[in-house]
A and B are shown apart, each in its own frame.
Chain A
């Protein structure tokens, strides 16, 4: 890892120090509200029927890792979209950074490092609460961070070239939201009707969710997410260079 990337990390860290209280609410409190409402509220209804789909586990233990993965995806989107778009446009931080010895790839790498750092920190906070209720296992942290990066890298690559914010909201509406609904977060994917049940394999979030639950072929899930990260990283380096040094 090149040293200049850490200078970009330093910039985001500097900004984070002033705003961390506000951001903690979005990335930690929100998922925990969901866990409480769904896990304890809805969970009571579900557990009474003792659904075979849950393989004997509680609904809380099912939805806990699911929400952890889903919020990791959201973190990937939040860090990879708005801040990248803002910083790349005229007058943004990236425009200042490229006039120094920093190269576009350093800027990209540094911001990803910060995204990984935030995803680790915020996921760990959520996971800590889940652990107290025995609703997840510690290994889920790795799954969450991988999920966040699998979304952050391709989304950054896209956001750095976007010419208006509407394109980013479109990503949220047409990619993030559907994945959120149909990747086995709230209910097991086996419950989906047939064509969708097969399609779920294409969802990176589903692989992240399964990874956080520690179920299915772990290695395959890891490889799928890694492939996305590598592809997103390579595309992002090109996109950053193309946009910041035209």
Chain B
């Protein structure tokens, strides 16, 4: 990969929290983020996504390895890097006592931007975040989705080259999530490079050009969503549900159907190139599932295959 086009480049990046107890949160990871792409870290809680994001955001010093951001070393030129980053942390850091526009003003001042410039950008940012009517509302009166959009709008006040989004839609209802996705998609089309974390596979599939699947502080696989699915799982999945008392028996009987079977606590997943034929085979073996569903394989299946666990427990 060409270093000059990588906005972020990590080699052996490591983070150890001193504790006690000492804890290796990120255990030596390599990745490159290219200009203009949307790069995602997908993984369950505790995988080390936020820690990685905070190291990229220069708010957490690395314990080892190399980390270059926008051509600067992350340890030595924090100010220069942070001046060109946008940051949406996992927990909102808005001042709930101040109004929407005051939050943007204060934040813009931290970048040393003149008030007039901030005011002019605020109009556009609020329009982008669909918060124009809320301009003088206090943040404590905003919904969760609105706060998240405000945090994103605020993070754009310095017109960053790179936007970091740590779980941008966690905790939001489906409608608010879709609105956010649509806004993020527009940013991407405008050429903003995005790095985001998520434990929702649909989010990763919708937004990311490339994904690093994280587990236990390591990257266990990376590639585009399509590449990952092609490499690690079959094209289709047959999902079978049985009455709970027949679950284990059914699993035994289904053995050998398709290429591989995953036994989850509540259902069987049968990986196969052809879901319909697998279903027929199931019936031939005298199995009678309560529900049977054939679907395309997704990133959730990739994660399950790689780690033996589901993403969201």
Contact partners of B111 in chain A: CB under 8 A: 100-101
Given A4-B110, A7-B110, A10-B109, are A99 and B91 neighbors across the interface (CB < 8 Å)?
A: no
Assess whether A10 is in contact with B106, with CB atoms less than 8 Å apart.
yes
Q: Mark A99-134, 1 if CB is under 8 A from B, else 0.
A: 111110000000000000000000000000000000
A41 within 8 A of B: no
Chain B residues closer than 8 Å to A100, beta-carbon distance: 82-83, 107, 110-111, 158
Contact (A245, B110) CB under 8 Å given A15-B97, A96-B94: no
In whole Å, how far is B16's beta carbon from the nearest beta carbon of chain A? 12
Q: Complex formed: what's the CA distance from A11 to B91 in Å?
A: 20
Majority-rule SS of A interface residues = helix
A28 beta carbon closer than 8 Å to chain B: no
Confirm or deny: A58 has a beta carbon within 8 angstroms of a beta carbon on chain B: no
Whole-angstrom distance between the Cβ of B165 and the nearest chain A Cβ: 12
By beta carbon, the residue of chain B nearest A94 is B93
User: Is the beta-carbon distance between B93 and A93 smaller than 8 angstroms?
Assistant: yes
Please tell me which one of the listed residues B85, B93, B110, B158 contacts residue A95 in the complex, with CB atoms under 8 A apart. B93
Pair count A-B, CB < 8 A: 66
Q: Mark B113-155, 1 if CB is under 8 A from A, else 0.
A: 0000000000000000000000000000000000000000001
Bound-complex Cα distance A100 to B91 (A): 16
List B contacts of A3 (CB < 8 A). 112
Residues of B within 8 A of A97 (CB): 110
Give the distance in Å from the alpha carbon of A99 to the alpha carbon of B164 in the complex.
10
| Interface pair A244/B59, CB less than 8 Å apart | yes
Which residues of chain B from 76 to 99 have a CB within 8 Å of any chain A CB? 78-79, 82-83, 85, 87, 89, 91-95, 97-98
Given contacts A95-B89, A102-B110, contact A246 B60 (CB under 8 A): yes
Measured in the bound complex, the distance between the Cα atoms of B110 and A246 in whole Å is 21
B17 and A103 within 8 A (CB): no
Distance in angstroms between the alpha carbons of A92 and B60 in the assembled complex: 17
Q: How far is the CA of A99 from the CA of B151 in the complex (A)?
A: 12
Instruction: Answer yes or no: B57 CB below 8 A from chain A CBs.
Output: yes
A14 touches B110 (CB 8 A): no
Q: Does B209 sit at the interface, judged by CB under 8 A?
A: no
Given A11-B106, A15-B98, A246-B17: A101 touches B79 (CB 8 Å cut-off): yes
A215 at the interface (CB under 8 A from B): no
Per the CB 8 Å criterion, the residue count for chain A at the interface is 24
Whether B102 contacts A101 by the Cβ 8 Å rule is: no
List of A residues within 8 angstroms of B112 by Cβ? 3-4, 7, 101
Q: Does A98 lie at the interface of the complex (its beta carbon under 8 Å from any beta carbon of B)?
A: yes
A-side contacts of B59, CB under 8 Å: 98-99, 244-245
The answer to whether B78 and A103 have CB atoms under 8 Å apart is: yes
- A191 close to B (CB within 8 Å): no
Supposing A99-B82, A101-B79, A245-B59 touch, asked if A91 and B110 sit within 8 A by C-beta, the answer is no
Report chain A residues within 8 Å CB of B92.
91
Contact of A103 among B60, B79, B94 (CB under 8 A): B79
| Alpha-carbon distance A15/B96, docked complex (angstroms) | 12
The answer to whether B61 has its CB under 8 Å from any CB of chain A is yes
Q: A246 — which chain B residues lie within 8 A by C-beta?
A: 17, 60
In the complex, residue of chain B having the shortest beta-carbon distance to the beta carbon of A3? B112
Cα distance, A4 to B83, chains bound together (Å):
12
Q: Which residue of A lies closest to B84 (CB)?
A: A101
Q: How would residues 1 to 26 of chain A score, 1 for a CB under 8 Å from any chain B CB and 0 otherwise?
A: 00110011011001100000000000
**CB-based contact B83/A99 at 8 Å:** no
- Of B79, B97, B110, most buried by chain A (CB within 10 Å of CB) is B110
Min distance, Cβ B142 to any Cβ of chain A, angstroms: 14
Name the A residues within 8 Å of B158 (CB-CB).
100
- Quick one: which of A15-59 are within 8 Å of B by CB? 15
B97: chain A residues at CB < 8 Å are 15
Task: List, in ascending order, chain A residues with CB within 8 A of B89's CB.
Answer: 95, 99
Within the complex, the shortest CB–CB distance from A99 to chain B, in Å, comes to 4
Q: In whole angstroms, what is the CA distance A90 to B95 when docked?
A: 12
Q: How far is the CB of B62 from chain A (nearest CB, A)?
A: 11
Provide 23 A-B residue pairs closer than 8 Å at the C-beta atoms, listed in order of the A residue. Answer: A4-B112, A7-B112, A10-B106, A11-B106, A14-B98, A14-B105, A15-B95, A15-B98, A91-B92, A91-B94, A95-B91, A96-B95, A97-B110, A99-B57, A99-B82, A99-B93, A100-B107, A100-B110, A101-B78, A101-B79, A101-B82, A101-B83, A246-B60
Further 11 A-B residue pairs, CB within 8 A, beyond A96-B94, A101-B111, A102-B110: A8-B110, A11-B106, A15-B95, A91-B91, A95-B89, A99-B85, A100-B82, A100-B83, A101-B79, A101-B82, A246-B60
